[in-house]
Chains A and B, each alone.
Chain A
Amino acid sequence: MKTIERLDPRVRSCIRKRGFTSLSDAQKQAIPLILDGKNIVLIAPTGTGKTESAMFPVFDGLLSLPAGGGFKAIYITPLRSLNRDILSRMQWWCGELGLTVGVRHGDTPMAERRKQALSPPDLLITTPETFQALFMGKRLRQHLAHVRYVIIDEIHELAGSKRGAQLAVGLERLHVYAGAFQRIGLSATVGNPGDIAGFLCGARPCSVVQVPVAKQLDLSVQYVGDDFRHQVEVLKKYLKREGSTLVFVNTRVTAEALGHALFGHGDVEVHHGSLSKEVRIDAEERFKKGEICTLICTSSMELGIDIGRVDHVIQFGSPREVARLVQRVGRAGHQLNTISRGTILATGFDDLLESLVIARKAGANEIEPVVLPRQAADVLANQVAAIAVEYGEIERPRIREICERTILFPDCDELLEKVCRQMEDHRLIRIDGSRIITTARARRYLAGNLSMIHDEKKVPIFDIVSRRTVGTLDESFVVGWVHTGVVFITKGQLWRVLEIADGKLTVEPAKKAIGELPSWEGEQIPVPHSVAQEAGGIRRTRSLAEYRTEPDGLAFASAFFREMDKNRSLVPTDELITLENTEDGVVCNVCAGHKANEALGRVLSILLSARYGTTVGLELDAYRMLLRLPSSIRAADVRDHLLSLDPATMPGVLRLALKRTALFKWKLVQIAKKFGAIDPDADYEKISIQRLLDFFDNTVVQHEAYRELLSEYMDIDTAAAIVTLVRNGKIRVALGLHSLIGAGGLLSSRDQIPPPSGDSAVLSTLKRRLSQDDVILACMNCRDWKTRTVVSRVDDHPQCPKCGARLVAALKPYEEEQYAIVKKPRKNAEERSTEQRLLRNANIVLSSGKKAIIALSARGVGPEVASRILGTLAEGDAFYREILKAERIFVQTHRYWA
């Protein structure tokens, strides 16, 4: 029997009415499986009729169920805009078939929600977060008992995130009411379909239907240079040549800049997450109707919102990931069986090589896997609170049962217990033996924490001098970096923080300061190791034969290599790490990708900060790291540390390194919020958030922060593997001159690694103070010369200009009058003792020179203490530590306090 004939005649007639003449490959394969009641993950490019593949047989099933009673099918998408799109498509089908359909998400008005509670639609379209909210109402819970189908659209977007983990537990909570229901996942192409199936179904059987994408892609890479005006000119030519075009960019700033540059065209609109819903919908509609033919968009357009026919996709700048490129270009050629055409406009050297590699990989179907978050403790906390509210009170083993039915929380009993205890600490739940009991706070918590997406607050910056708001900072920046007195840069100006209170940051303009903070840049799309490594391979072989290049790119690449050679620069490759000295610190060129460089950079930073007792600033991208270091630490020092790394100890070192960084603190805050420790609108005024976070030492909250950072933000395994290759000589390490490659790149990730103790800051403060101290030099030989100067200007062995003697005493300003006593021809006993003191002072200066003068400038240090300090023969920092010790003794004495 032909597939279509298995469908209910009413559905078939609708299909004809809608003008479908034949079923797509995806539909032919998926529909029979769904009709047979199988769980299924359907992996196919956008625009191959995925939604219909799922919904034809679901309609078929819904028609066979009795009318009314509750929700029968739930369709979940990651975005409200997708919900709206799906709703408008489903309304036609459901109308024709006599089924009811509703949408429910954050924007749904109260009246509509009430209506749904009273008479639930057969098909409910919702988001993962609103799906969570369905369990909170008594009546809605009853409706959930009738669910037979759950369809998760764009499941690849969810599976790799904590949102997805929350949804997975949500599905099992639904299972408690609805029993076994059929699960259908719709996914873009991924490297690991099996994991997606496990995510959807847990241990239940699940079929995977995969429609290959690679052979339908027609990709090219065009080099457009780094001049923005030229880039715009090239883009204009493409837009003229092609029909309707989506232009994907990586940042909102670029989207706005291009939109501005192309404004004169008249038929161009911009689409990104910061724009209002109305503006976005308007742009989508106008594109769909053909009123505009170019839409400049960010990842906001990646997912399958129907915007009609797309002839061509342009990716402005490297797409960074293969999956992303495939997904974006997949938007082109929306008719079945047409080829998707895409062009990457590469804007620089890294960008070109990276784009070529990604285009090759897309053609070869080498797509990155989606990494499932396993044992995410904050998701567990969130779901424990939700379940506690749902049931009022419940035995912990029942919660465990629910969680362990997902693939994400195997054997989670121990973790669950820790999570519950931590939540009890924060008074989110009560525990009575094995019973988990809800609290008044839990419901309130849930209302503010339906989502696992972290809503980052914007903290206004208020300038107390001009009495106006000068901008905003991200909450992550405030939590990680800011405390009173700190100086940071924003809008090209320096500001000193005066106060953090009432949800705002009060600042004053600052002059030049030491150790100012970099302004923050949000988390960026990381380039995978495999891509960065292959780009490093191209740098080594300098051969682009395998890649889709055009003349401009080839010419640029070979000119770039020629320039490097001409400058005698070493070209870092997949087999060569180069280290370069710069004004700001040391650049390490490592073609390892973002996450591995994050790990390696942080390990190096903490070792350097511990070794030299200094803060190390770290900025990096996929191909290089800049270690901001005091000027005394050079590339050779960094190399020595790199060569002495032990891969086995790196994970431990990294954990240590993370603890004091801004990124870690920010993660802790996010996770603590999910544990109910910190309310979404908490203000951090007056108390030190940094010390508050110390309370999480050795708790499940801290453990989760480590787990997430080490598994999702950085790749310690790859970093360790690279170090192993360095150790056995497969990767060489060399020092080079500062090169074009070392100077290039957008350093997108920043952090600071402070030293383990403040020792060096104290020492440098001491050195600075002593060198700036005033000192009176007085000749004890002719007794007729004195001068006032500062310690830093004193010669190594000062000499009296009058008599040429080196018997010069170094006096503190308030001791100046003692010199007059020395000159007196007749002295009493006290005056003779003063003379003796000055002579001893001068003798120490005679024998130890400037070092003695420095010691004598210290607080409470006279000739006796100074000669004891000098007697230790300590040099450098050890010498200054002796001075600190002497001063510490002095401030304990009556002499200091009297």
Chain B
Amino acid sequence: MKLEFIRSGPALVIENEERLLVVSDLHFGIEADLAAHGLHFASRSAERLERLMRVIDSANPDRLILLGDIKHSIPSLTRQEYHELPGIMETVRSRVPLVIFPGNHDIGLERFAREGEICPRDGMLIDGIGFLHGHMYPAPELYGNLIVIGHHHPLLALRDEVGCALQEPAYIRAGLMTGKGDIPVPEDRAGQTRLLFMPAFNELAGYDISRIIRDPFSPLSRCMDPGSAEIILADGTYIGPFSALVQDEDD
């Protein structure tokens, strides 16, 4: 297995038997929601799609895995989404075969998907790697493998001596703990399970990593072992264990 980190995504290429491009949390149609919160911006779907297509072109994958939250509005579709999504999906699909793991924002997405594109919400193994959006517990067969999830939008803030110097999307790699959460993680396979939290592709999304870890809000973030959490920037720079960063702050 070999990984490539594409910073301009953020996106990830995982190469085993197949070459898979993974992209998470596109949130097309977020502008309608922003407007409801008093922020009125023209749709940036075209720019976002263009960026996605560039990533696809440079990665040249066999398949594209969309790791959920492709669209934004819940509980129903907005006019913007009705209008934009068919074209977006078709553009991507015409370039590369799609695999979709629906997220909590993907209500109504079926109407824009082709048969066979949509995978179970609790994920499945592809080429020996588990994939799911990450808002629910994984299907049992995923345990014991590397599980790639979205949903959390991790963002890392690093400070230098004088002030905050960097705020960037980042990955979290962590192990699992047994006996946490509502569903027992099978003990025999917990030790081998690795979680990989992907940063969001959407340019506005971002949630501080220390909050994800200290104040977990999803089934998998609750099951992760904070002591084992390591952070990697969108470009693949290894930042190191989360515990070391926390230490710095509390010195």
Contact = CB atoms under 8 A, between A and B. Distances in A.
B67 to A, nearest CB: 17
B238 A682 contact: no
A680 B40 CA distance: 12
A773 B83 CA distance: 54
A892 interface: yes
Interface stretch (B87-95, B133-141, B200-208): B200-208
A590 to B, nearest CB: 21
Interface stretch (B102-110, B119-127, B152-160): B152-160
A734 B245 CA distance: 41
A426 B41 CA distance: 5
B11 to A, nearest CB: 14
Contact of A678 (B39, B168, B208): B39
**Best-surrounded residue of A630, A695, A891 (most CB of chain B within 10 A):** A891
A642 B42 CA distance: 43
Contacts of A679: 38-40
Given A486-B164, A514-B159, A630-B162, A677 B194 contact: no
Contacts of A417: none
A515 B40 contact: no
Contact of B204 (A514, A688, A754, A893): A688
Nearest to A516: B163
A764 B30 CA distance: 36
Contact of B168 (A512, A677, A684, A758): A758
Contacts of B251: 512, 514
Contact of B194 (A425, A683, A897): A897
Contacts of B196: 897
B4 interface: yes
Given A891-B238, A892-B5, A764 B160 contact: yes
A515 B164 CA distance: 6
B166 A515 contact: no
Interface residues of B, number: 57
Interface residues of A, number: 69
B39 A483 contact: no
A768 B163 CA distance: 16
Contacts of A427: 35, 40, 42
Given A679-B38, A679-B40, A859-B240, A891 B208 contact: no
Nearest to A884: B237
B237 A762 contact: yes
A485 B240 contact: no
B249 interface: yes
Interface string A508-546: 001111110100000000000000000000000000000
Given A629-B162, A859-B240, A884-B238, A485 B210 contact: yes
B3 A859 contact: no
B162 A498 contact: no
A760 interface: yes
Nearest to B235: A888
B176 to A, nearest CB: 14
Interface in B5-43: 5, 30, 34-35, 37-42
Interface string B195-219: 0100000011111101100010000
B239 interface: yes
B182 interface: no
A515 B163 contact: yes
Contacts of A225: none
Nearest to A630: B161
A336 interface: no
22 contacts: A484-B157, A485-B211, A512-B251, A515-B159, A515-B160, A515-B162, A517-B163, A615-B165, A628-B162, A680-B38, A681-B38, A687-B34, A687-B205, A688-B204, A690-B167, A692-B39, A752-B163, A765-B248, A888-B235, A888-B238, A894-B2, A897-B173
Interface of A: 425-428, 441, 483-487, 498-499, 510-515, 517, 614-617, 628-631, 676-688, 690-692, 694-695, 752, 754-755, 758, 760-762, 764-766, 768-769, 772, 859, 884, 887-888, 890-894, 897-898
